[in-house]
Structure 1
Amino acid sequence: MNSQTLSSLIDKAITDALAHRTLRIESSRLESTGIENIQAETQRQPTTFVMITGDDVAAFPATLRYLAALAQAGCLLSVHFSHSAQRLHTRFADTLHRLLPQVPCQQTIDPMLRSGDTLLLPALSDNSLAKIALGLRDNAASQWVFQALAQDVRIIALHHPDAAMPSAYLAQLSRYQETLRQFGIRMMGQPAAPQASVSHSAVACVGKSLLTARDVRLHSEDTLRVQPGTLITPAARDEIAARRITLITAS
């Protein structure tokens, strides 16, 4: 997952998490009376538990920046790393402590999840996605997710599959994504299944003056022809490179 894509996805997650946190705090204040009750409610402020999965070193700095933005916005964060993400925890420990000094970085911790908290998985790996969908609780991410589901805790998961993978693999990931939605998990990110439409072919792109990432995702051929002067967005170029599409400027 490139950092630009991850930034866009986490932007949505941050907005969602902050809106949920604000609603919970305001509702609690309206229900309480007196300064003592308000202070007590503040001490029970909802926490956003963050579970880092996978080992995508290139994308993790973007995750750190947005976690810092959440902390600066007033969210109480508790960041934890799955077994597969221990390399990230080791490599970025100093940066994590500098950006989020109040965050406990223990590798294993049993979160006391409660109603009002949020479980955020900012870069859910394919492996953890599959385990959760199949009901396997043999890694940290799946264990936390099922604990959160049992306690009616809000879950936000960002998953962005590698578009270069075979279509059958992407179709299976898409089914797993749908299973998580049926569980009540808020899934964010690009759908895994490739678009069925093949009419959006090379010829269809020749006449476009602007080529976006969506155009590239809908393109089903190995070669993409564009007319001279076509403006190609940075996200579209990333998508072209990721899928190893040959770009040809038509005469």
Structure 2
Amino acid sequence: MKRREFLIAAGLLPAARAFAAPAAAGAAPAGLSLQAAINRAGRQRMLSQRCAKAWLLLVDGVVPDRARSILDQSVRLFDQQMADLKGTQPNDEVRAAWGLLDQDWSRYRPLLLDPRGDVKAVWAGSEAVLAAAQKLTVAYERAAGSSAGRLINLSGRQRMLSQRMAKAYLFHQMGINPGPAREMLDTAMKEFAKAHDELKTAPQNTAQIKSELGLVEQQWFFFQNALGMQAGDRKKGMSDVATTSERILEQMDAVVSLYEKIAG
């Protein structure tokens, strides 16, 4: 799946532009390269957190129409990518990791369909799916055995962290697991900043990648401000975090796609 197709499927492009997509957009590929598999498995990590973020926004009535759209599109994209990855299983480690992720997703997915469900169960489900998706991504990276594969993994993890930070912020604002949520947010922010510094110094960076990472840095500035803001209006603060987390996600996806391109 190319970046444009992902943005359409994930709801990051407006509907008017989505209609211009090729008829084949979203169709399962006949087979994936290992670099593409790393990208998709890494995107499953992100979707585990993005689904929880959208579900929380929906539950709390924050930008509900947008939250519903993001949630529905994220669930569909996760399902599609599981099918894509099922066709690319080069060894036993990957097969076992895919099976674990499939099991954890089958338990998490139904929780996301009920906005009246158990919030703490969504917390636990999102963590389990994230851990399983991480194992699958690492298994693909090991199978690829290249420095380029590591860069796809590392930059792809930044996408996940953008959504993890938003998820943690929302849990904290809603008073659910506030202590662990605060710790999760602080840790994710530190990890994002450290990985960004590493990506900026990667010797494989092209001029275009350097430019895109510069744009990520701009979005990171706005995102940090939103995460640190103690808004008088709680729902406005949550809405701002939702918006800025989507913007930095889109920009990071551009970076991952470029790393996948140079690896191919």
TM-score (norm 2): 0.30
Where is the helix percentage greater, Structure 1 or Structure 2? 2
Where is the strand percentage greater, Structure 1 or Structure 2? 1
Structure exhibiting the larger radius of gyration computed from Cα positions:
1
